[in-house]
Amino acid sequence: MRHFLDLHKVPADDLRAILNQAVETKTARAGQGKGACDADAPLTDRVVALVFEKPSTRTRVSFDLGVRQMGGETVVLSGSEMHLGKSESVADTARVLSRFVDMIMIRTFEDATLLEMAEYATVPVINGLTDASHPCQIMADVMTFEEHRGPIAGKTVAWLGDGNNMCASFLHAAGQLGFDLTFGGPEVMDPDPAAVEFARSKGRNVRIERDAAQAVAGADLVVTDTWMSMHDAAEAREKRHALLQPYQVNAALMAQAKPDTLFMHCLPAHRGEEVTDEVMDGPQSVIFDEAENRLHAQKAIMRWCVEG
């Protein structure tokens, strides 16, 4: 049985195989229409539980459609509909769900919830997002980069803003897939030291830059994420905004990177805050390819889980 919990916990060769499978899946579906099913339907007669403690658009739609396109069915559960970690332990919920379904995708807050779910489930568990990491998104991002620019190995990614869960997963990917990463952001929002150390332990160059222009210089890909959580209080939002304003991705900043540098954002974006409309809608932006590729990358991840 295979869980897909974090990129540094999956063998690098397996990550590459998943990415190759995602490309093959996308290519095979070209021209078949949005509702077409995969020819081999690897999830036939299987049910996948999609558990959402956090709101979602892309994760919910892409996983739901992906399961259906692979011949399976979904049960979608929200935190408000479950006893998860409240009147029932995560461990017991994992045991119960494992009696009903063939796979669990969970989008939650604490990493401990994901790890407990995986420890006690007897079916594969997929990390749809935690406060610590977002591996499915980064698989889609790498797939998107390689569609446009070829192999990511040896390239440089510039991360601007908060060294959050997305940044941590990018660092895991850097170590596993062989690219370098520069973080540009305020010191109080530096990325997870363990994720930085992981990438460096694999021989990757991880730089910390306080100057945004220096951070993007020479980058092949510039990535940012929303500055504000939906749970931030107004006072916290003001403080974060002031700290992060120098790291806004705008046309002037992109001009400091290479002419063919790509721009990505996992969405949803607060236009005019972490990134301007000019960049979001500009020729270097591949944000909607990135969003679409969540579907194909996650289908390959689910296939990897069930084939294990």
- The Cα-based distances of 78 to 82, 84, 283 in angstroms read 7, 10, 37
Please say if 266 is a catalytic residue. Answer: yes
- From 143, 117, 179, 133, select the one nearest 15 (Cα to Cα): 143
Residue 146 near residue 19 (C-beta atoms within 8 A): yes
Catalytic residue among 137, 248, 256, 298: 137
Catalytic annotation present for 107: yes
Catalytic residue, chosen from 8, 29, 240, 294, is 294
Name the active-site residue from 107, 172, 240, 303.
107
Is 21 a catalytic site residue? no
Residue 37 is among the residues annotated as catalytic for this protein: no
Catalytic residue among 3, 58, 60, 134: 134
225, 248, 265, 296: the active-site residue: 225
Known active-site residue 68: no
60 an active-site residue? no
Among 266, 284, 303, 305, which one carries the catalytic annotation? 266
CA distances to 59, 74, 101, 105, 240 from 47, in Å? 17, 5, 5, 11, 41
Provide the annotated active-site residues: 107, 134, 137, 225, 266, 294
